[in-house]
Structure 1
Amino acid sequence: MKSLILTTAALALTAGMGMADTVRLGTEGAYPPYNFLNDNGEVDGFERELGDELCKRAELTCEWVTNDWDSIIPNLTSGNYDAIIAGMSITAEREELVDFTQGYTQPSPSAYAGMSEGVDVKTAVVAAQASTIQSAHVASTGATLVEFATPDETVAAVQSGEVDAVLSDKDFLIPIVAETELMFLEEVRLGGGIGMAFRESDDELRGKFDAAIASMKEDGSLNDMLDKWEIEGKF
């Protein structure tokens, strides 16, 4: 695991937690608009704002930890942080390892993008970030999958001609397509929405965040936040 970047959310403690207890929220910090590091090196984005609000509603003191995507679940289960909030889609395979809250987005589209029209994504060479629902989908289609550790590397591979296309969350690709020569090719809907992940032994903690997500759905603030960050998947 690379070095940890910690930023404290100044929030109240719950009566059930000891004064020294802090909930550590793990994220990647490299997947805008969901999560990224701002110019001050702090976790920012939709999930930073969401996580801070959920901690406030659950009356928990929280701090943020960044971790590379490829080891984000192992480092949760080994105790390096207490929850994952990192654009992670809810899938049956992941539910064998961790327990999820309800989704805080609806299933939103993934999209293929390439440098030219006419790419047959079912037979092409396609880049995807490793250990994602997109990489699993590409592998199931008969296309040639090339995996990369970060989403930025998948885009660079298309731009350099190393691969024919990239498959990623459309929300991530929209600003890139707008600012580069990349163009959208096809959309697919994958997974069961995005949720927070917890160790299977942490039902009580998961329940606090689940209730907080539900309260944001009920009062409309979750949809407002999704609109603010231009993320599809409103409730």
Structure 2
Amino acid sequence: MKKLILSTATLALMAGMGVADTVRLGTEGAYPPYNFIDDNGEIAGFERELGDELCKRAELTCEWVTNDWDSIIPNLVSGNYDVIIAGMSITDERDEVIDFTQNYTPPSASAYMAMSADVDLSSAVISAQSATIQAGHVAESGATLVEFATPDETVAAVKNGEVDAVFADEDYVKPIAEQSGGELMLVGDLVPLGGGIGMGLRESDGELREKFNAAIQTMKDDGTLNALITQYFGDEAQTF
């Protein structure tokens, strides 16, 4: 393994703890490849590997919990866990309620997926997961928005004819389309949204946020974050 030159970020990791003995990481567990529950009933995916590595670099003892998406911010604020690491895009609206680390994925695109290439997205009925930037975009687009609590339900609504298309992160819908045998396809243009994905924390947990900021920076500096991104999202994925 290559030796790393000590940077400001590395030195920050060596500072005193001053945070909880065990840091609880909250995720959804239903948004592959970011996070999902594997065959053994364990949290898995890109963010599981990333979170474990960040905790190791920050010298933090961490444990994982799952929480439904629609209450993931309120339950962070109320103290049910300490960090959100759940494919959450950094937005100004969310930043008014919680704090974010620096992004651990670059800003990425969202995509529409349908069962026909002839869908008129300007007037279509479109599903999106509730409380997401995608739902907000559809609501402002002039199309009819139908919100669902889980990502699976948004896709099922397309398959059963309840809606004309689903709008979600390209990283989520593209593999589903590719594995559908032609039943589902991406339609329309990709739409860039958000400022990348970051870890969400309570506004009062500035010291913990900086520990994770420093850990993320070391992964950017030594290339391991880019390697993890391409491992889960492919060689064409946006990297740092």
**TM-score by shorter chain over 0.5:** yes
Q: 8 Å contact 1:22–1:60 — kept in the other structure? A: yes
Task: List alignment gaps of at least 5 residues for structure 1.
Answer: 1-12
Aligned CA-pair RMSD: 1.4
Aligned to 2:185: 183
1:194 aligns with 2:197: yes
> Paired residues, what number?
222
Task: Tell me what 1:223 maps to.
Answer: 226
Residue identity in the other structure for 2:86? A
Within 5 Å, which residues of 2 pair with 1:122-161?
122-161=122-161
Q: Secondary structure at the match of 1:229?
A: helix
**Correspondences of 1:18-29 after superposition (within 5 Å):** 21-29=21-29
AA of the residue aligned to 1:182: L
Deviation string 1:103-132 (CA, Å, 9 cap, x unpaired) is 001111110010001211121000000000
Identity of aligned residues (%): 68
SS of residue matched to 1:93: helix
CA shift, 1:15, in A, is 4.9
- 1:72 paired with 2:72, answer yes
Corresponding residue for residue 17 of structure 2: 16
Distance in structure 1 (CA, Å) of the matches to 2:141 and 2:16: 51
What TM-score, normalized by structure 1, do the two folds share? 0.92
Tell me, in whole angstroms, the C-alpha distance in 2 between the residues paired with 1:16 and 1:54.
15
Deviation >2 Å, runs of 4+: 13-18
Q: Which consecutive residues of structure 2, in runs of 5 or more, have no partner in the other structure?
A: 1-13
Deviation readout 1:167-223 (Å, 9 max, x if unpaired): 001111122101221110021110000000000000000000001001100110000
Paired amino acid for 1:111: A
Aligned partner letter, 2:226: N
Q: Tell me the secondary structure at the aligned position of residue 53 of structure 2.
A: helix
Letter in 2 for 1:214: Q
Q: Secondary structure at the match of 2:110?
A: strand
1:55-66 matches, cutoff 5 A: 55-66=55-66
Deviations 1:141-188 (A, max 9, x none): 000000000000000000000000000011111221012211100211
For residues 128 and 55 of structure 1, the distance between their equivalents in structure 2, rounded to whole angstroms, comes to: 32
Structure 2 equivalent of residue 87 of structure 1 = 87
Tell me if structure 2 keeps the 8 A contact 1:23–1:81. yes
TM-score normalised per structure 2: 0.90
Asked if the contact 2:114/2:165 (under 8 Å) is kept, the reply is yes
Answer whether contact 2:18 2:207 (CA < 8 A) is retained: no
Matched AA of 1:192: G
2:239 corresponds to 1:234? yes
What secondary structure does 1:226 align onto? Answer: helix
1:121 equivalent in alignment to 2:124 = no
Distance in structure 1 (CA, Å) of the matches to 2:195 and 2:16 = 33
- 1:173 corresponds in structure 2 to 173
- 8 Å Cα contact 2:38-2:44 kept in structure 1: yes
